[in-house]
Amino acid sequence: MDSPPILSLLTEDLLVRVLANLSDDSDRKSFRSACRSFLRVDSLHRATIRILRPEFLHGLLRKYRAVEAIDLSVCPRIDDATVSVLFGGDAAAEWTRRLRRLVLSRAVGLGWAGLGMLVRACPGLEAVDVSYCCGFGDREAAALSCAGGLRELRLDKCLGVTDVGLAKVAVGCGRLERISLKWCLEITDLGIGLLANKCPDLKHLDISFTKVTSESLQAIGTLQKLEMLALAGCGLVDDIGLDNLGIGCPSLQVLDVSRCDKISSSGLISVIRGHSGLRQLYASYCFFELSTTLLYSLTELKNLKTISVDGAQVSGSSFHMICTNCKFLVEIGMSKCKGVTDTGLIQLASACPNLKILNLTCCDSITDAAISAITESCRNLSCLKAESCNLLTEKSLDVLGSRSLLLKDLDLTDCSGANDAGLNYLSECSELLCLKLGLCANISDKGLSYIASNCTMICELDLYRCTGIGDDGLAALSSGCKKLKRLNLSYCNEVTDRGLQFLGHLKELSDLELRGLVNITGTGLAALAAGCRRLSELDLKNCENINDSGFWALAYYSRNLRQINLSCCAISDVGLCMVMGNLTRLQDAKLVNLPNVSVQGLELALRACCVRLKKVKLLTYLAFHLSPEILNTLTARGCRVRWD
């Protein structure tokens, strides 16, 4: 069969370009199922792959010859044995050599032996992400340090990594350019000092929420190429450290000193003096008040694009200073700032026409006038967070809908001004991707249907406690917003089984919160499970009327489910065993207060899935009733048991 003429015009390089612009998974899926030549282009040029079932990895890699990056973070069972099967052997040799990036985030079952093997098998590794592998320690870091070509490493929340492990990495991977050590609580100044000594090429360094002191900053100051430094929540860093930073790090562009309790304006000023090239400055929850000297020093930052001063007290003069000194701001964070007024924001809006992202969370004294001024001057506004701004009325939504046509992200949580008429105005923002309407009790199915009919791009919608929303609204949603991925319907008590049946038409839906929906039963859940095959996170807490038939359907259909919250559900022993045993991708389960489940039933259910679980929440008293074997097994596999 001859290919249509239009496709013959599309040469392979053109197709590759088209493909490069398709970031969304579903779009890519549509692309490759269009025709054989598209599929060929896709399989030849696909560079990254994220898999849920590692058993298919070899087959997939035979098809995709150009894969350089593998993401195993959502696989439930990545352990030493799996890794040795995947990466060991001759079959793997060919593709492991071209592997550049590897995401092993939350691979809690993996040990140093497996990691070592993996690193040896992939000599070309340039980036590894082992963040949130809470059990990882020095031995794992040592295994990683064998990857000499590593440029990028994420060790976030690897709680066991100490200075020794970091030293291993620093010595072994001397060409590191990016490293993130967020939440590595064992890291001290010694480790950071050695890192700065051994890895002179570092560009990005994140040591947020660690216990480093100003001494580290002295060492970090020697890094000539450092562009990004995050120090959020480093409570031991003080002005002396910032002074040191001020005379070092000539290439610094991004600095995050949020929640550093010990620093004051003078420290930050000395950093600003030394770095006129600073582009982004995050100083949330540092200062009680924004001092005028600090704001004055911003004059030197000609390239400043982002400033975040959440939680500080601002005054009219502060706004004036910002307006006169920072003309090119793109992003401003003023959440929970006291003293944010309409006049201030009007000034700011006229001074910063390039503004795209504005966070005004909890600035409760602003009115429609401010929003009007902002929409008038900042035509590129793409993100507005106005949670708890109770003085805003539908007029604000009107101006947003008529002027801010590029708006993608809007947070109106707890804004009583958001009503059906307002949503009608807002539906003009057809680019909207994320809309948060939680606690907006004034919206009803009618308002939602306006949004659903016009904002078809929406992929995240929060309707938490929007008690006016019912099945009809969901019907409109399911027909309009086909791209919806995340939906929160918690405590929308009007929703019944019929609503869930509509939701079953949203094929893309992956995260769904249905907390406290007492009117849904097993029938609704069965319909939902049968329809939403991509469902990966489901919260059914307090859905007391779902019976086992619903859970059986869930166990049968939702094979991609990764997280489930069944707390306070009426699930029985058998139902729980079915769910936990059959859902082979399940990694995180909250199983608190299950009135119809016996200890034996829970034990059996846990045994059925103990090799896959990464996180489980149980009632405290069960610690003494469950068998020690199952608890030992869980902990040995790296599963974190949270006792409630």
**Which residues lie near another protein (CB under 8 A)?**
111, 113, 137-139, 142, 145, 163-165, 167-168, 171-172, 190-191, 193-194, 197-198, 627-629, 632-633, 636
Residue 302 CB, shortest distance to another protein, in Å, is: 37
Scanning 10-48, the segments in alpha helix (DSSP H) are 12-20, 25-32, 36-45
Of the pair 143, 476, the CB lying nearest another protein is at 143
Of the pair 215, 539, the CB lying nearest another protein is at 215
Residue 236 CB, shortest distance to another protein, in Å, is: 17
Of the pair 190, 574, the CB lying nearest another protein is at 190
Residue 635 CB, shortest distance to another protein, in Å, is: 9
Of the pair 381, 631, the CB lying nearest another protein is at 631
Of the pair 66, 81, the CB lying nearest another protein is at 81
Of the pair 30, 627, the CB lying nearest another protein is at 627
SS (H, E, C) 427-443: CCCCCCCEEECCCCCCC
> Token digits for 572?
């029985």
Residue 220 CB, shortest distance to another protein, in Å, is: 15
Of the pair 154, 607, the CB lying nearest another protein is at 607
> Token digits for 573?
């022993």
Residue 142 CB, shortest distance to another protein, in Å, is: 6
Residue type present at position 580: M
Of the pair 189, 394, the CB lying nearest another protein is at 189
Residue 187 CB, shortest distance to another protein, in Å, is: 12
Spatial distance between the Cα atoms of 248 and 241, rounded to a whole number of angstroms: 11
Of the pair 219, 257, the CB lying nearest another protein is at 219
Spatial distance between the Cα atoms of 142 and 163, rounded to a whole number of angstroms: 11
Spatial distance between the Cα atoms of 301 and 366, rounded to a whole number of angstroms: 28
Residue 198 CB, shortest distance to another protein, in Å, is: 7
Residue 171 CB, shortest distance to another protein, in Å, is: 4
Residue 637 CB, shortest distance to another protein, in Å, is: 9
Q: Residue 127 gets which letter from DSSP?
A: E
b vs e for 458-484, b when ≥16 Cβ sit within 10 Å of the residue's Cβ?
bbbbbbbbbbbbbbbbbbbbbebbbbb
Residue 199 CB, shortest distance to another protein, in Å, is: 12
Q: Which of 129, 104, 75 is nearest to 536 (CA)?
A: 75
- Ordered DSSP codes for 265-318: HHHHHHHHHH-TT--EEE-TTT-SB--HHHHHHGGG-TT--EEE-TT-B--HHH
Spatial distance between the Cα atoms of 12 and 498, rounded to a whole number of angstroms: 46
Cβ contacts of residue 360 below 8 Å, gap of 6+?
A: 334, 335, 340, 345, 366, 384, 385, 386, 389
Q: Which of 168, 172, 226 is nearest to 196 (CA)?
A: 226
What are the two backbone dihedrals, phi and then psi, of residue 399, each rounded to the nearest 5 degrees?
-65, -35
Residue 209 CB, shortest distance to another protein, in Å, is: 22
Of the pair 111, 480, the CB lying nearest another protein is at 111
Length of the chain: 644
Contact indicator for 80, 113 with CB cutoff of 8 Å: yes
> Token digits for 3?
């290919």
Of the pair 24, 629, the CB lying nearest another protein is at 629
